[in-house]
Amino acid sequence: MLVLKDFSCGYDQVRAVQDLNIHIQKGEVFALLGPNGAGKTSTILAIMGHVTTHRGQILVEGRDITHMSPVSRVGCGLALVPEGRRLFSDLNVEDNLTVGGYAFSKKQEKLQREEVYSLFPLLFERRRQLAYSLSGGEQQMLSIGRALMARPKLLLVDELSLGLMPKMVDLCFEVLTTMRDRGITILLVEQDTNRALELADNVCVLASGVTVYKGAAAGVRENETIFEKYLGIAD
């Protein structure tokens, strides 16, 4: 589904990530982990076309999207749940979802919106409410729902649990599990390492923009140096 080949990205002349090579299979959950400043968000934003790729290639289903516009990348099946939600705060819930489904006919958009409401019934109850007035958990539901309106093949999720109460974290991860079970490929950046490792099939750990571990998620726990030094936690 997604290949990053000899991939480096960053801002102006500053490289946030260097020589990253990952292969993500269709239907897989792949976690990109590491300490703050490791380059995780920069990688996701570069895949979406919002951060400059300095060298290397981004391939989606074998197609080179490295120099495509962000809009064209959405057309290739990518969608982003950004860190901080980044909703249209002065639009209501339903209008935010409509923005996510802009590329589809009214009929298709309506069907997809009904699907989102089935995943998040609370959004249906809040559908006329302005986004800024929602709770943090409700805003995160809406951010996920807006991304799903694009009917993505590859869902990029950046810091899903940030600032959320445990109950809302559970609900959002349940939805990711449902998406995985439906065949959607997920690239996950997540501060809650334990939750990420529970969901992920494979993992890449970054530190200062360089890969320090790559492999099965279960293998991270067996590598005490990586698990404790770079992920900042211990059993």
Per-position DSSP letters for 134-152, written without gaps between them: S-HHHHHHHHHHHHHTT--
Q: Where in the chain is the domain with CATH 3.40.50.300?
A: 1-77+153-235
Q: What token pair was written down for 40?
A: 């995780």
pLDDT in tens, 91-130: 999 999 999 988 888 898 999 999 999 999 999 999 999 9
Beta bridge partners of 63: 60
Percent of the chain with pLDDT over 90: 78
User: Other CB atoms closer than 10 Å to residue 54's CB: what's the count?
Assistant: 18
* pLDDT exceeds 50 at position 175: yes
Average pLDDT, integer, range 53-63 = 96
* pLDDT exceeds 80 at position 70: yes
Min mean pLDDT across 29-33, 140-144, 229-233 is at 229-233
Average pLDDT, integer, range 69-74 = 94
Average pLDDT, integer, range 170-190 = 94
Give 219's pLDDT tier (boundaries 50, 70, 90).
confident
Q: Dump strand ranges (E) for the chain.
A: 2-11, 14-24, 29-33, 52-60, 63-64, 78-81, 154-158, 185-189, 202-207, 210-216
Axis-axis angle for helices 93-100, 136-148 (nearest 10): 30
- CATH number for region 1-77+153-235: 3.40.50.300
State pTM to two decimals. Answer: 0.91
Question: Could you tell me if 144 and 87 are in contact, meaning their C-beta atoms sit under 8 angstroms apart?
Answer: no
Indicate the helix (H) or strand (E) that contains 175.
helix 166-181
* pLDDT exceeds 80 at position 225: no
Hey, what amino acid is at 214? K
Q: What token pair was written down for 200?
A: 């992920």
How much is the pLDDT for 211? 95
State the Cα–Cα distance between residues 165 and 136, nearest whole angstrom. Answer: 9
